[in-house]
Amino acid sequence: MKQPNKIIVIGMGFVGLTLAIFLTSKKFNVIGVDTDQNKLNTLLQGSTPFYEPGLESALKSSLKKYLSFTNNLSSVDAADIVFVTVGTPPMRDGSIDLRYIKSSTKQISEWCNNNHIQPVIVYKSTILPGTFENVIKPILKSLSENTTVNPEFLREGSALQDTIHPHVIVIGGKEKPALSLKRFYQKIYEQKIPIKTTSATNAELIKYANNSFLAAKISFINTIANICQRFPDSNVDDVAEVIGLDPRIGNLFLKAGPGYGGSCFPKDVQALLSLTKNLGTGSDFLNAIHKTNKQQAEMVLKLITKQVKSLKNSNISILGLAFKENSDDIRESVSISLIEKLLTKKVNVRVHDPRAIDNAKSVFNNKVMYCTDVSDCLRSSDCAVLLTSWKQYLSLGKEFSKMRNPILIDTRRLLANKKLPVKYVGLGIGNEIVS
């Protein structure tokens, strides 16, 4: 492949939009394709449909020169590379929904054949092992010779930074397109990044193995946190710090909390589990990661019921709705399922989040009270539950004195070392025995 000039990115979600913007910063002409015209209109006005640090200002500069959008791939005449970044959402049985993969692949195939072109086609969407071979290849036919599987590892909340500084690049597929893509990446990344070329199936599996392993680390440390909870003088962060010093373990992803959420870990663990079931083996291990995560959300509810004797008509304040800090994403957020449970117990729920209030409104309408100010959220409250590690919460202190019954359940132990005018219950700190 000659040095590419025009690049198409199909699917303007987290991965696609961030990639498109990053590529324009490297002076490529990028066309973002998405079937949702409303989303494209928002983007054309320089706004991102979700919050991601630094992305909106980067979008505004990209729009000045290199970035354009269309809802119709056939309106584009040619391109050197086509990235596919469409979603693969979960189905009820845990498997993934391939409808967007199939529809975009059909479009690409028709478009290439009509225009007699053979761009390098790159699948960044998360797809289970076998998807390239059994689903994509039969649609692309000879075009599949020029196709690679190139999973993405960016995290929400640091999407742009992770795209600028990936820890690894994995390229699966036939040698020719894999080498073309490798050279492309070597040119655009000034720093040396490990690039691994492998089979398409390995590339597909690497993504699931990666995410499932990280999810396993979290479920593991949450298990330890629940043991710590039963022993006064025990703190999961002290245990995590020391085991993390063992280079065989490493210190990342050992922060105990209310359980992992978001659009990847819950979905990917269940998809891999469902794959093992289809393969006839199943996996007790993957099942345990998933079950432990669900139980962790129950643990938060137990901590609340231990503190608030009668939940009915009590006032409970939820600090943090997003599944993680620096994001407005509430998908699979433990806060959301917890609020749902509290509402069934007739609790008056007040919520605060620096970014995710609007998204929560579309779930709860007028069933909860939305607060833009933490003090309002805590006023007359019987219990506050901190669920998301927003930096803003680190400076909280006197706000807790507004509570009727000053109790804080800190599921992230963000305020563990502060003197607060509140009874402090830290998840994974052994001062409150919960059975």
Residues with catalytic function: 264
**Binder to ligand UDX among 4, 94, 119, 261 (CB under 6 A)?**
261
Query: DSSP state, 71?
Result: S
| 255 near ligand UDX, judged by CB under 6 A | yes
What whole-number distance in Å separates Cα of residue 3 and Cα of residue 28?
Answer: 10
| 218 near ligand UDX, judged by CB under 6 A | yes
**Binder to ligand UDX among 254, 286, 316, 342 (CB under 6 A)?**
254
In sequence order, the β-bridge partners of residue 7 are 30, 81
Q: Let me know: does 119 contact 80? Beta carbons within 8 Å.
A: yes
Q: ∠ at Cα 230 (228, 235), nearest 5°? A: 25
From 47-55, 148-156, 230-238, 276-284, span contacting ligand UDX (CB under 6 A): 148-156
Q: How many CB atoms lie within 10 A of CB 100?
A: 19
Q: Let me know: does 115 contact 77? Beta carbons within 8 Å.
A: yes
Q: Under DSSP, is residue 108 helix (H, G, I), strand (E, B) or coil? A: helix
What whole-number distance in Å separates Cα of residue 224 and Cα of residue 182?
Answer: 41
| 290 near ligand UDX, judged by CB under 6 A | no
| 156 near ligand UDX, judged by CB under 6 A | yes
CB nearer to ligand UDX: pick between 180 and 337: 337
- CA-closest candidate to residue 87, choices 78, 76, 100: 100
CB nearer to ligand UDX: pick between 13 and 32: 13
Cβ of residue 407: shortest distance to ligand UDX, in angstroms?
22
The two three-digit tokens of residue 247, written as one number: 């280079």
**What x-and-dash track marks residues 298-337 binding ligand UDX by CB under 6 A?**
-------------------------xx-------------
- CA-closest candidate to residue 330, choices 263, 253, 270, 412: 263
CB nearer to ligand UDX: pick between 266 and 406: 266
| 426 near ligand UDX, judged by CB under 6 A | no
CB nearer to ligand UDX: pick between 340 and 373: 340
Around 40, how many Cα atoms within 13 Å sit in the side-chain half-sphere? 15
Cβ of residue 68: shortest distance to ligand UDX, in angstroms?
26
| 203 near ligand UDX, judged by CB under 6 A | no
The binding site for ligand UDX (CB under 6 A) comprises: 152-156, 211, 214, 218, 253-255, 257, 260-262, 264-265, 323-324
